Amino acid sequence: MDKLTSELERLKSDYIAIKEDAKSCGNQVIEALEKLFNKKSANKKLMICRIKEWDSIEHNIRKDKDYQFEDGEISLASVANIHDLIGIRVISLFKQDVEKIGAIIKKEFTISQVKHKADSLNIDQFGYQSDHYIIDLTDDYFTAQGWEKYRKLFFCEIQVRTLAQHTWAAVSHKLQYKKEPDVPTPVQRSIHRVSALLEIVDLEFERVLLEREDNRKRLAKERIWQETFRSEEPFDLDVDVLDLSLEQLLPETNRSKQEDFSELLSDLEKAGVRNDLDLFELIEEYMLEAVEEDRKRAAMLTELLPAERITQSYAPIDEQENRLWKGAYFTHTGLVREMLRLRQKKL
């Protein structure tokens, strides 16, 4: 057995020994990221953890001479030194969220390396685009989590990309078109077109977000939701008008980050509530009763929580429990549905 083969066998045994710990560590990193993103209101679509396969590790070692000395010995002491052994993919819907998520990662963790893949592309090239952050798993943040068992795993790569960029990465991986020279000449025109369309998708979604924000600012400036607006022309309800109306008219403690305004619009339409004046009158008449029912349910459910879950030192496990701590049960959409139920009951 030559020296290189012997070294690879050593690393393969090392890989087998730490692979399960690497999977557990990756899941812990996802859990930590989930908490951070929720706390900072960073929107992500999904997170995926993967552990680099041994075949891929072996292939990279064999082709990369930086890993090998002249006598065949490998400079890698352990597979734990591979920066992307543990890979986390964070996928967001919008480019602005990619930037926000990246800022959180850089602030919270010790970063040993940052790569913006788009920076390596010429203006006339297509290719894989994603932001990569190599984080040090031995830093103070992870020590504070009580992760001593994972200290032999030194690094984790976090890749942050949009859903459109993820689509490109998944398709190019399937077709094995990871770089422009990989693409057969007859297919290049089509693949360029797809790449351009996916970039346009990201840009157009960003434009939609900006237009939506401008519209919300205009609505907030033009409309103050109070009793004096009865003399004004009512606004037809849409998602933004409904959202802004409830934000100003209902208690902040009931507000959720995951309100389903679209479904509520359908319920309001069926009940004949079609503009913000109709909504104001509904809330004005049934607010006190709905809030009273809300507080009763919150009190009842809080009593059912284990004693340790209602101490000051215990952090709520989710948004609903956080509302219960504040004495609220319904979300904003839930409060409005309760008002619709109360009105129906009186008819």
Give residue 313's pLDDT. 46
Give residue 271's pLDDT. 95
Give residue 157's pLDDT. 93
pTM of the entire predicted model: 0.71
Give residue 28's pLDDT. 87
3-class DSSP string for 234-264: CCECCHHHHHHHHHHHCCHHHCCCCCCHHHH
What is the distance, to the nearest Å, from the Cα of residue 142 to the centroid of all Cα atoms in its chain? 20
Give residue 228's pLDDT. 46
Give residue 253's pLDDT. 92
Alpha helix segments (H runs only) across the chain:
3-39, 54-63, 95-108, 140-144, 163-175, 185-222, 239-249, 261-270, 276-304, 319-325, 332-346
Q: How many angstroms separate the CA atoms of 242 and 295, rounded?
A: 23
Give residue 266's pLDDT. 95
Give the residue among 131, 118, 117, 137 at the shortest CA–CA distance from 159.
Answer: 131
Q: How many angstroms separate the CA atoms of 89 and 167, rounded?
A: 13
Q: How many angstroms separate the CA atoms of 25 and 28, rounded?
A: 5
**Mean pLDDT by 10-residue block, N- to C-terminus, for the chain (347 residues)?**
80 91 89 84 85 90 70 76 91 90 90 78 58 82 65 83 85 67 73 82 91 85 56 82 91 90 95 92 95 92 65 56 85 96 90
Residues 208-241, buried b or exposed e (16+ Cβ, 10 A)? eeeeeeeeeeebeeebebeeeeeeeebbebeebb
Which residue do the tokens 């006339």 mark? 124
Q: How many angstroms separate the CA atoms of 161 and 226, rounded?
A: 42
Q: What angle do CA 149, 155, 157 make, to 5 degrees?
A: 130
- CATH numbers and ranges of domains, the chain: 3-201 (3.30.460.10), 223-346 (no CATH)
